[in-house]
Structure 1
Amino acid sequence: MKTKFCPNCGNEIPLNEDICRYCLKDTADTSFLSTNSGQYQYSLKTFKPEKSSKINPQVKETRKNIKKYSEGIPIRRILLLMIVTCGLYVIYWFYRSSKFTKENGKNVNPILRTVLFFIPIVNLVAIYLLFYDIKNIVKTKDISFNVPINFVLFIFGYLLSLWSIINIQEAMNEYYRLNNPNLIEKRNFTTSEKVVMVIFILIYAIIILSILCLIFMFI
């Protein structure tokens, strides 16, 4: 990505950014282009930003609120988490997707909707409504998927439900990408996801060791 340095605070920012995300000053002066702009050679050692006597009180708050990553989830993360957790990750995915609908204007309670996911018959309604809400949100960016087909796939079998989850997650990822083109998907696993995988791996190890012990006992 082409970047430049803010002539006021010296932080590196996207080339097309008119207002510095760090100091909130006008960046119309493009004389401080970085080397990766492909247009000018520039030495960081010679750069001496002008010190401002007035510090914008919103600078610290602005830095805190700057988002680096999109809320989208790479498909490979979903696949591995579904495999490691034997499909239990779908519960969290359902909650996260419900939260997505709430954040985009739908009057829903993500926790309540996730609770309904465990109630027979009622969960079918909750699943369909979730898919329907997601479709209505993503179609504002000309993204679409077939709700009835994905609903049927979701409720029939592990592999089919996985296909449905991937299909809908791809739609949400594309929505995030179009809504925030400057943000990237976080490819690495989050700390909580790593903890969950470690727990399940330990459980599998205990089960395997227990089975081996039983086998050796009867040999």
Structure 2
Amino acid sequence: PSFDRLEVDGVDFGYGKDLVLQDFSLKIPQGKVLGIRGASGCGKSTLLKLLMRFWDVERGKILVDGKKIQTIQTSALRDHQSCVSQETHLFHDTIEKNISFVKEGASLEEIEEACRKANIHDFILSLPQGYSTLVQELGSSLSGGEKQRIGLARAFLSGAKVLFLDEPTSNLDSLNEAIILKSIDDSKHGKTIILVSHRESTLQNCDLRLEMGKA
């Protein structure tokens, strides 16, 4: 599939006896940023995980270009989807390799451009070894905001047609948030972008808004 159309049709899903989504339907537009907000436990992150097929729905359908997501190879889903969450996992390797692994053969110029979009390029250059700086185990040498911006740089570099952003600015100050939100808006052409956040400032420039409540 070309991953141009994502649709959730009459979905039920829960954890054990706790129903999180009930008869939930949503058509997700391409070329726009869809912002989702709601109380904790209403199913925002669960929705993203179902769209990535980390789990299967209990009832209803998730469709990609009209095809049930269960009929699409997992490798195709992973090639066309990118997710940024509150927790960015880093490896004990250089900053360059921590970013570039999402795109085989990525040039340094491509990596730097992705980092500019994530507003992390100047910080990396300020380090003694720049992009060759070694990241400590689990990223302990970097702050939460720095790790989150590296996660965003990965998403920009990947070139994925579908971006799931789950609280992507939760560890960022207002200046970094504004720069990154502009980069997201500039990158939306031909992409499907879902931005989940509890921060009004993060969602204020979204093209569409969805308020979710508990099932």
TM-score, length-scaled by structure 1: 0.30
Bigger CA radius of gyration = 1
Q: Which of the pair has the greater relative contact order for Cα pairs under 8 Å at 6+ separation? A: 2
Structure ranking higher in helix proportion: 1
Between structures 1 and 2, the one with greater strand share:
2
